[in-house]
Amino acid sequence: MHQSLRFASKSISRAETRLRERNREVLLAAGREAKERIVEREFDRVNETVCKDLANYSALHRSLSESINRIEEDHQQAVDVPPDPPGWVKAVEAVATIDSREGRVRVGAVLSDIHKSLVKAHQEAMVMYREASTKRHALLRKMRPEWRQIQQTLRRVGKNVDSLLSRSVTIDRHMQEYEDMVTGEDRAVSVLSSSSLVYFFVSMLVLCVAIGGATINFSLIARPMAEMVGGTSMIGGYRTSEIAALVIIMVEISMGLFLMESLRITRLFPVIGALPDKVRVRMVWITFTILFLLATVEAGLAYMREVLLHDELATSALLRGDVSQTLTGQYLWITTAAQMGMGFILPFALTFVAIPLETFVHSLRTVLGLFAIGFLRFISLALRVLGNSFRYLGLLAEHLYDLPLFIPIWLEQRSSKNTGNSSLSEVTP
Amino acid sequence: MRLLTTIASCVVLIGCSSSSTPTNTGIYMLLDTSGTYREELQKAQQIIRYTLSRLDAKDSFAVARIDTASFSEKDIVAKTTFDDRPSTVNRQKRLFAEEISIFVDEVKSSPYTDITGGLLQAVEFLNEKNTGTKTILIFSDLKEDLKDGYIRDISFDLDGFNVIALNVTKLRSDNIDPREYLTRLDDWKSKVEKFGGEWQVINDLDGLEGLL
Average pLDDT over residues B50-56: 90
Residue B165 has pLDDT above 50, yes or no: yes
Say which residue, B77 or B145, is predicted with more confidence: B77
Residue A47 has pLDDT above 60, yes or no: yes
CA distances for A331 relative to A327, A334, A336, A376, B86, angstroms? 12, 6, 9, 62, 24
Return mean pLDDT, chain B. Answer: 84
The string of pLDDT tens digits covering residues B62-107 is 999 988 888 888 889 999 999 988 889 999 999 999 999 999 988 8
Question: What is the C-alpha separation between B129 and B136, in angstroms, rounded?
Answer: 13
Shortest Cα–Cα distance, B104 to chain A (Å)? 15
Say which residue, A388 or A193, is predicted with more confidence: A388
Which of A387-423 are b and which e, b meaning 16 or more Cβ less than 10 Å from the residue's Cβ? beebeeeeeeeeeeeeeeeeeeeeeeeeeeeeeeeee
CA distances for A237 relative to A234, A241, B16, B18, angstroms? 6, 12, 11, 7
Residue in B18, B24, B53 closest to A236 by CB: B18
Question: What is the C-alpha separation between B63 and B27, in angstroms, rounded?
Answer: 8
DSSP letter string over A271-288?
HHHTS-HHHHHHHHHHHH
Q: In terms of DSSP H, where are the helices of B107-159?
A: 115-129
Residue in A227, A234, A316 closest to B18 by CB: A234
Residue A79 — pLDDT band, cuts 50, 70, 90? low
CA distances for B178 relative to A186, A364, B184, B202, angstroms? 96, 78, 10, 18
Output the 3-class SS for A193-257. Answer: HHHHHHHHHHHHHHHHHHHHHHHHHHHHHHHHHHHHHCCCCEECCEEHHHHHHHHHHHHHHHHHH
Task: Check if the beta carbon of residue B160 is closer than 8 Å to that of residue B134.
Answer: yes
Angle at A259 between CA A256 and CA A264, to 5 degrees: 130
The alpha carbon torsion through A14, A20, A22, A25 (nearest 10 deg) reads: -140
For chain B, what is the radius of gyration of the CA atoms? 20
Average pLDDT over residues A129-154: 81
Question: What is the C-alpha separation between A338 and A302, in angstroms, rounded?
Answer: 9
Residue B28 — pLDDT band, cuts 50, 70, 90? very high
C-alpha closest to that of B158 among B118, B131, B198: B198
CB within 8 A of B155, min separation 6: which ones? B195
Task: Check if the beta carbon of residue B89 is closer than 8 Å to that of residue B82.
Answer: yes
Identify from A318, A322, A323, A326 which residue to disrupt to test chain B contact, counting B C-beta atoms within 10 A and taking the largest count: A318
Kindly report each contact of residues A19-22 with a partner whose C-beta sits within 8 Å and lies 24 or more positions away, as own/partner. A19/A369, A19/A372, A19/A373, A19/A376, A20/A373, A22/A369
* Range in A110-114, A224-228, B175-179 with the lowest mean pLDDT: A110-114
Which of B12-44 are b and which e, b meaning 16 or more Cβ less than 10 Å from the residue's Cβ? eeeeeeeeeeeebbbbbbbbbbbbebbebbeeb
Count the neighbouring beta carbons within 10 Å of the beta carbon of residue B84.
17
Residue B3 has pLDDT above 50, yes or no: no
Shortest Cα–Cα distance, A312 to chain B (Å)? 6
Chain B residues close to A319, C-beta within 8 Å: 49-50, 52-53, 93, 97
> With pLDDT > 90 as the criterion, what percentage of chain A qualifies?
21
Amino acid at residue number A288: F
The string of pLDDT tens digits covering residues A194-235 is 788 888 999 999 999 999 999 999 988 988 888 888 877 888
> With pLDDT > 70 as the criterion, what percentage of chain B qualifies?
88
pLDDT attached to residue A81: 60
Chain B residues close to A226, C-beta within 8 Å: 57, 84-86
The string of pLDDT tens digits covering residues A265-314 is 888 888 888 888 899 999 999 999 999 999 999 999 999 988 888 888 88
Average pLDDT over residues B152-174: 85
Count the neighbouring beta carbons within 10 Å of the beta carbon of residue A275.
16
pLDDT attached to residue B1: 46
pLDDT attached to residue A422: 61
Which of A43-68 are b and which e, b meaning 16 or more Cβ less than 10 Å from the residue's Cβ? eeebeebeeebeeeeeebeeeeeebe
pLDDT attached to residue A19: 85
Chain B residues close to A313, C-beta within 8 Å: none
* pTM of the predicted structure, to 2 decimals: 0.64
